[in-house]
Structure 1
């Protein structure tokens, strides 16, 4: 799939985890739900063109489908096994295309009204360059919405106070 050994290792690790991923992914589920809630408040056009980077088993895909109504979806992941799980979880819908792709260096043009990604950006070597590339793929007025890990992410999800300072 990829000539980059690091990316191949990431895809293989997620592929190996795919069969039981959802059993151990409480944080991923929470992050996807919170991102979907925020995205649902965005001013999107009717039937937006949506690109999801790193769809995994479909946490964000399912949460968004419940909230934003009809859309044209392109769901992508580095791992073929995760992508297959997502497709199965969604019931292989006719409004969706599925594609194995490195979201850090997408090989497509768009335009998209919405580009979303939940907990994939932290796997990128150069997230800033990836976000710049994504911005080039947006339609006029398009939006990018991401959830990613940062310092004290887990403390925030547990409801704890921010660190002093």
Structure 2
């Protein structure tokens, strides 16, 4: 039987602030530059290993993003610097449920402080194999949603072309 345990986020992952990279300093490359809204460009070097999990730190605060490869974590994000005996996709899906935007501060531009979320308590499954099963199930659902969205997009485009032709 799988055991669950209440832990602080700092007990399972360690966040670090991303690094600044203005658009004019981006050099054409294969590594995505991940900002608080997702991929904002590509660069020839990376700051984050596979998988790259970030959350919005400034602007679009608290939204988790995962990229299954190396990337550059922009200074508008916090990225997971260290995984501590936890399945990466499991923590990604857990982060999606935590409503981290409520930990933001700042009046003009919302900002998320990693020290505030490091102390948040969460309940996790302790068994890594169980974490992987949950993650794989959720990844399958996400993949099906992605395929359905593509189908819907194609249906809309086809419908618009038919309207234009008639």
Higher relative contact order (CA 8 A, sep 6+): 2
Shorter chain as denominator, the TM-score bin is under 0.3
When normalised by structure 2's length, the TM-score is 0.23
Structure with bigger helix share is 1
